């Protein structure tokens, strides 16, 4: 057991889990990023409900939202870290796991603050259906991310996380990776989105996604909105050509995402990763 507040010790334990190839061919980094995002992306700025505070995905009401399929793997894998450092809240642990994963996979340093408190019952669980639907286009994407309080530039920066990991047929119904380097955080999502000739592909479960010429990588219908929408596309082009600007903008937007719904009366300790 570590001393209360020793986030370096927690970070070290998370790092050790990331290369785990027994559970996923990409290791656990990508799914830790998805867990941190789904724990936070339920926020509604108008009602000030949802968000990362509370770790409400511990309750079946939220974990059973179809959008969260498969995230039990990430939550279960982090359980030994929680046991080793019982003083950390799940809400801090899950968001920190995303931040550590980004860094471990070669991405930027995302600003992260501790201080989230776990909810003790289901009363703070936000309604299901607040996370984006991959079948939809730019209007839906904007509706969902504007509700969280993001602008177009931040939305485009955030979707760049699809450089990591892949879709799993038994989780979302979609299949495949967005890039040929799914364990490296880079700007390849934008590069591939612009460079390839994408065509539709129907899977045997009836799901429609996009494939490149060689059927090696994929895009979701919602990802394609970033290629077709003129405002999104301008920013996609910028990030495809300028990795450093993408890294800086991603770090700021992901840091903001992880803060959604977290009340801050004073500046809680900031942990640099």
Encoded one letter per residue, x for contact with ligand HEM by CB under 6 A and - for no contact, window 155-194 reads ---xx-xx-xxxxx--xx-x--------------------
Task: Considering the complex, state which of residue 37 and residue 246 has its C-beta at the smaller distance from ligand HEM.
Answer: 37
**In whole angstroms, how far apart are CA 17 and each of 77, 133, 178, 183?**
8, 29, 23, 14
Distance CA 125, CA 130 (A): 11
33 binding ligand HEM? (CB under 6 A): yes
Q: Which of residues 37-96 bind ligand HEM (CB under 6 A)?
A: 37, 70
Q: Identify whether the C-beta of residue 81 lies closer than 8 Å to the C-beta of residue 17.
A: yes
Instruction: Look up 38 and say whether it is catalytic.
Output: yes
Distance CA 144, CA 151 (A): 11
Q: Give me the least distance between CB of 38 and ligand HEM, in Å please.
A: 8
Task: Considering the complex, state which of residue 130 and residue 171 has its C-beta at the smaller distance from ligand HEM.
Answer: 171
Helices 221-228 + 152-159 axis angle, to 10: 130
- Residue 169 half-sphere exposure, CB side, CA atoms within 13 Å? 8
Distance CA 67, CA 62 (A): 9
Q: Give me the least distance between CB of 254 and ligand HEM, in Å please.
A: 6
Task: Considering the complex, state which of residue 36 and residue 81 has its C-beta at the smaller distance from ligand HEM.
Answer: 36
Residues with catalytic annotation? 38, 178
Binding site for ligand HEM (CB under 6 A): 26, 30-31, 33-34, 37, 70, 132, 134, 141, 158-159, 161-162, 164-168, 171-172, 174, 220, 222, 254
């Amino acid at each position: 057991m570590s001393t209360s507040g020793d986030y370096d010790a927690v970070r070290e334990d998370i790092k050790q889990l990331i290369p785990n190839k027994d559970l996923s061919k990409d290791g656990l980094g990508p799914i830790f990023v998805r867990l941190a995002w789904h724990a936070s992306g339920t926020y509604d700025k108008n009602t000030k409900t949802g968000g990362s505070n509370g770790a409400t995905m511990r309750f079946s009401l939220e974990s059973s939202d179809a959008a969260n399929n498969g995230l039990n793997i990430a939550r279960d894998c982090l359980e030994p870290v929680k046991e080793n450092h019982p003083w950390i809240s799940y809400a801090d642990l899950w968001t920190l796991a995303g931040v550590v994963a980004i860094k471990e996979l070669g991405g930027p340093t995302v600003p992260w603050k501790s201080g989230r408190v776990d909810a003790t019952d289901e009363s703070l669980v936000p309604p299901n259906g607040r996370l984006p639907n991959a079948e939809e286009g730019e209007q839906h994407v904007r509706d969902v991310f504007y509700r969280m309080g993001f602008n177009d530039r931040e939305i485009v920066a955030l979707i760049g996380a699809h450089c990591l990991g892949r879709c799993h047929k038994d989780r979302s119904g979609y299949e495949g990776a967005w890039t040929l380097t799914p364990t490296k955080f880079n700007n390849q999502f934008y590069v591939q989105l612009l460079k390839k000739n994408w065509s539709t592909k129907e899977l045997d479960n009836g799901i429609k996604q996009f494939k490149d010429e060689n059927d090696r990588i994929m895009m979701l219908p919602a990802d394609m909105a970033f290629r077709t929408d003129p405002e999104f596309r301008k920013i996609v082009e910028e990030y495809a050509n300028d990795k450093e600007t993408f890294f800086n903008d991603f770090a700021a937007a992901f840091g903001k995402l992880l803060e959604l719904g977290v009340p801050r009366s004073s500046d809680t300790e900031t942990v640099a990763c």
